[in-house]
Amino acid sequence: MDLGLTSDQEAIREIFASFFADRAGPDHARAAQPLGFDPEGWARLGETGAPGMGVPVDAGGGGASLADLVVVAEEAGANVSPLPLVDHTVTARLLAGLDAVGDDVVSGAAVAGLAVRPATGGLARSVPAGAVAEVLVALEDHRLVVVRGAAPGEAQPNHADMPIAHRSVQDGEVLAEGPEAVAAHARAVDEWRALTGSLLVGATRMAIKMAVDYVSERHQFGRPVGSFQAVQHGLADLPGLCDGARLLVAKTAWAGDRPGEGVADMGDNEVTDFAALAAMALVFAGEAALRATDRSLHYHGGYGFAEEYDIQLYYRRVRGWAQVLDDPARECRRLAGLLLNDREVD
């Protein structure tokens, strides 16, 4: 057991913490509204090798593990970066697993995206990176299809300023069919859950930091508002939620790097199954992020509601990440199926 980062991961963390802060931070996120995508930042990110980092080496990528990828994702989330790195990464890994990943996706020259929910009637609705994905993968009727071509470049107006768009997958090329297609999509969505969970952890961490900084500076009644116990106690539960979410995400990544070995025994609180952990990680990290951004915005007083302050960006973005896949309550019911092992889950 080792709950620390490896020295390599520590180095990765430092590199990407400064990359996102300099090249793709809250100011860039604000400038990228309403599309939620900064092409300039994406091009710079391509130079770091990040778009292909999670692709296996024999497919031309960096061969990074999920455990490494969550470290990068946390820093992207901490900066509400307007870059579809998570969607791109899981889609690239999915394509690589089917021997269908091109150099353009590995290099990031083409943005890849995943319809996380199955498409129906040839239409994938509310795809998280749908507005910018030039390579789009979707599952419909047990067929996994890929659509290549120019992205619409325009998002549906949305709460989170994410590049959400509806996409036709009618003329997609079939990558796989039947159980293989379903399993490949399910695995990619579980990876999406884990990495999106990590985006949420990063945003949670930063929301707490912004709150602490603000209440330490802001004075009312002749003292910092952070000296009031009501304010302190409204913040004090958040680090535990943040750390708990980070540990759960890391455990999920650890399990995802060892497929097929896990168990899900809720009666003994022994859960090492990747799919069960991925569901847990997204739900819990989402809950932590909602709480932390809610408290942080509140303790900014009126300024928290002002466009100018960053906390509103975090507040809106985390709500997008937490529910673009589904209502967390429905995610929980799906998880119950995995834990109780009493019904088919698809």
Partner 1 sequence: MDFALSDRAAVFRADVKAFLAEQVTDEVIGAMHESGTFNDRGLNGALADAGLLAGAVPGYGDRDPVELYILFNELEKAGAPYDGLAVTMLVAGVVHSVGTDFHRTEVLEKLITGRHNCCLGYSEPDHGSDVAAITTRAVRDGDGWVIDGRKMWTTMAHESDWVLLLTRTDPDVPKHQGLTMFLVHMDTPGIEVQPVATMATERTNATFFDAVRVGDQWRLGEVNGGWSVMGVALALERGVMGGTNPAVPLLRHVRAWAETAPSPDGGTMIDDPLLRERLARTAIANQVGQLLTLRAAWVAATGGLPGVEGSMAKIFASEAYQQVVGWFQQMAGAEGLLGFGADGAAGNGWIDYDARHAPVTTIYGGTTEINRNNIAERHLGLPRTR
Nearest CB to partner 1, comparing residues 1 and 150: 1
- In the complex, what is the shortest distance from the CB of residue 71 to partner 1, in angstroms, rounded to a whole number? 10
Rounded Cα gap, residues 230 and 222, in angstroms: 16
- Least distance from C-beta 311 to partner 1, angstroms? 16
Task: Find tokens 């960053």 and name the residue.
Answer: 310
- Residues contacting residue 55 through CB under 8 Å, at least 6 positions apart: 61, 62, 63, 92, 93, 96, 101, 105, 106
Q: In angstroms, what is the minimal distance from the CB of 274 to partner 1?
A: 12
Indicate the residue among 150 and 233 with the shorter CB distance to partner 1.
233
Identity of the residue numbered 262:
G
Contacts of 86 (CB under 8 A, 6+ apart): 73, 76, 192, 195, 196, 199
Nearer to partner 1, 31 or 236 (CB): 236
CA distances from 291 to 108, 114, 251, 278, 288 (A): 34, 28, 22, 20, 5
CB of 289 to partner 1, least distance (A): 14
Pick the closer one to partner 1 by CB: 244 or 320.
244
Q: How many angstroms separate the first and last alpha carbons of the chain?
A: 33
CB of 124 closer than 8 Å to CB of 169: yes
Binding positions for partner 1, rule: CB under 8 A: 1-5, 67, 208, 212, 215-216, 224, 226-229, 232-233, 235-237, 239-241, 243-245, 247-248, 250-251, 254-255, 266-269, 271-272, 277, 279-280, 283-284, 329, 332-333, 335-337, 339-340, 342
Least spacing, CB of residue 35 vs partner 1, in Å = 34
Residue closer to partner 1, measured from CB, 57 or 230: 230
By beta-carbon proximity to partner 1, the closer residue of 96 and 215 is 215
The set of residues, in sequence order, having a beta carbon less than 8 Å from that of 190 and lying 6+ positions away, is 256, 274, 275, 278, 279
Of 153, 160, 155, 158, give the one whose Cα is nearest residue 200.
160
- Least gap, CB of 229 to partner 1 (angstroms): 4
- C-alpha 23/C-alpha 42 separation (Å) is 9
CB of 195 to partner 1, least distance (A): 15
